[in-house]
Structure 1
Amino acid sequence: MDIVYKWTGLEFIVRGSEYLDSDESLIAVANHQSALDIYTMMKVYPRNCSVILKSSLKFFPVFNWMMYLGDSIFIDRFTKEKSKDSLALALEKIKKSKRKIFMYPEGTRNSKKELLPFKKGAFILSKEANVPVVPIVFSRYSNFLNHEEKRWDYGGKIIIQVLPPMKPGDFANLDMMADECKTKMEKQLSLLEEELKAS
């Protein structure tokens, strides 16, 4: 991965990674902007972790075999039963080996300032396994990546902010937990954008 980071010229700043250092299970959730998230994720990827990814990434060069070796879970977003099977597999990994799970709750790429509505899978897992959700915010890539023009400027800075864990027992229902998580992440995303503009 260091070769990729050097090739892109990107500077990474990571904050709050201590929230991922637990030996216990947790559900890490992050915002999803582009294929670059794969490499940003690796900067904070916890020990003993499986990432849930869309099935099409099985064909992403180099990354695919790394994810297979990392015991990743591929999910078919368009087939409800297969999606349930993927979540059931994740739950089994949590219960049997205290596995951590990494997910992108927006479910698809989104380069806008506002996050897309969150899918409930991460929060269902959190409740059923009684493990916390740890929100992770990747700053927007707009300081070096133009999505509309598909233009990449060499260099740039990415700030990764890991937020404090959210326990399922602190919320009356899954919708409240998902909404609160999304609100916290959107607020942090805005703060990081302001910081990057000022730097």
Structure 2
Amino acid sequence: MLRKHGGFYYYRTTTQIFALAFCALYGVFASLSLPLVGKRHLINWSVARLYYHMAGYLTGISVSIEGKEHLDSKRSAVYVANHQTSMDILFMASVFPKATSVVAKKALKYYPFLGWFMTLSKAIFLDRKNRDSAIKEAKQAALDIHKKQTSVWLFPEGTRGYASKLDLLPFKKGAFYMAVQARVPVVPIVIANYNHLYDFTVKRFDPGTVKIKVLPPVDTSEIDESSESVDKLASNVREMMLATLKEISIPPPGSINPPASPPSTASDKKSH
């Protein structure tokens, strides 16, 4: 396995890192120049598109997207996606909407190039070790969603989840509190498991196509801000995303995964 995949793994990993560094540098330029011509809402979108096409070409990775009609840049929303590996940046870039900011862990702020770009592009950094600070930042983000008519993108698992099986980590509630406070919908985005193409543990990095499914917006306008209501919202969204993950994914090599959960009933949907 190592001999078969190792050379391509290191080549494609190196080219991906090069593409990310190049696009981050472009992002610094875009963050300084686009606001001058009234195009601030295109900063993250233009960097994402450049990175997807550049890294996709160099690595041979492409995507097949279902549900593009739910990516409405004219409507503020909280976009949530599952998180498997560092490759998610590439898949995120393929569907990243205009007028959208990224919510990321504070540590990324200090990365060369990437951190500079994210700081200039007004990314929202959350300090996971400081709960009070994280809550304050999340509330400010909810206010900005209305004031600046923008959207935000988060990975609600909070860290990289399961790459070797079809499952999701428990969701952190920040994204859902943000959506409820801002009274904007949650738009779930599911990236199919791609362990058959990329697995750093066995140095596998093969070209191929990965499915992405954008689910219909989940309305939050009638949900109160109580912890119980937000917990239920997060749980329902996670169930929908997990069922979709199992539906669109090729099971990881050597894994045994339970069947997808049945789709939500009409009564479940009314609870949103």
TM-score normalized with structure 2 length? 0.67
Instruction: Check 1:34–1:128 CA distance in 2 against 1; reply closer, same or farther (3 A cut).
Output: same
CA contact (8 A) 1:52 1:74 kept: yes
Q: Could you tell me how far 1:62 is from its partner in structure 2?
A: 4.1
1:156 — aligned with what? 208
Cα deviations across residues 136-166 of structure 1 (Å, max 9, x unaligned)? 00111212112433x1323022111100000
Name the aligned partner's letter for residue 83 of structure 1. A
Name which of 215, 226, 245 aligns with 1:189.
245
Match of 1:12, SS state, is strand
Q: How far apart, in 1, do the equivalents of 2:205 and 2:70 lie?
A: 32
TM-score normalized with structure 1 length? 0.90
Name the aligned partner's letter for residue 210 of structure 2. I
Q: How far apart, in 2, do the equivalents of 1:116 and 1:33 lie?
A: 10
1:117 — aligned with what? 170
With CA pairs under 8 Å and 6+ residues apart, which has the higher RCO, 1 or 2?
1
Q: Could you tell me how far 1:22 is from its partner in structure 2?
A: 4.0
Name which of 80, 102, 115 aligns with 2:131.
80
Q: How far apart, in 1, do the equivalents of 2:206 and 2:111 lie?
A: 22
Q: Could you tell me how far 1:65 is from its partner in structure 2?
A: 3.5
Identity %: 35
Q: Could you tell me how far 1:180 is from its partner in structure 2?
A: 0.9
1:109-148 superposed matches below 5 A:
109-110=160-161, 111=163, 112-148=165-201
1:48-67 superposed matches below 5 A:
48-67=99-118
Instruction: Check 1:141–1:120 CA distance in 2 against 1; reply closer, same or farther (3 A cut).
Output: same
Unaligned runs of 5+ in 1: none
Q: Could you tell me how far 1:59 is from its partner in structure 2?
A: 4.0
Cα deviations across residues 162-189 of structure 1 (Å, max 9, x unaligned)? 0000012465711221111001100110
Q: How far apart, in 2, do the equivalents of 1:84 and 1:171 lie?
A: 19
Unaligned runs of 5+ in 2: 1-50, 254-272
2:217 — aligned with what? 165
Q: How far apart, in 2, do the equivalents of 1:158 and 1:64 lie?
A: 27
Q: Could you tell me how far 1:117 is from its partner in structure 2?
A: 0.8
Structure with the larger strand share: 1
Aligned-residue CA RMSD (Å): 2.1
Q: How far apart, in 2, do the equivalents of 1:146 and 1:96 lie?
A: 42
CA contact (8 A) 2:143 2:182 kept: no
CA contact (8 A) 1:143 1:157 kept: no
Deviates more, 1:85-94 or 1:99-108: 85-94
2:233 — aligned with what? 177
Q: Could you tell me how far 1:39 is from its partner in structure 2?
A: 1.8
Name the aligned partner's letter for residue 236 of structure 2. E
Match of 2:145, SS state, is helix
CA contact (8 A) 2:193 2:250 kept: no
Q: Could you tell me how far 1:42 is from its partner in structure 2?
A: 1.0
Q: Could you tell me how far 1:68 is from its partner in structure 2?
A: 3.0
Match of 1:109, SS state, is coil
Structure with the larger helix share: 2
Name the aligned partner's letter for residue 91 of structure 1. A
Q: How far apart, in 1, do the equivalents of 2:94 and 2:119 lie?
A: 18
Larger radius of gyration: 2
CA contact (8 A) 1:26 1:133 kept: yes
Name the aligned partner's letter for residue 119 of structure 1. K
Q: Could you tell me how far 1:190 is from its partner in structure 2?
A: 0.5
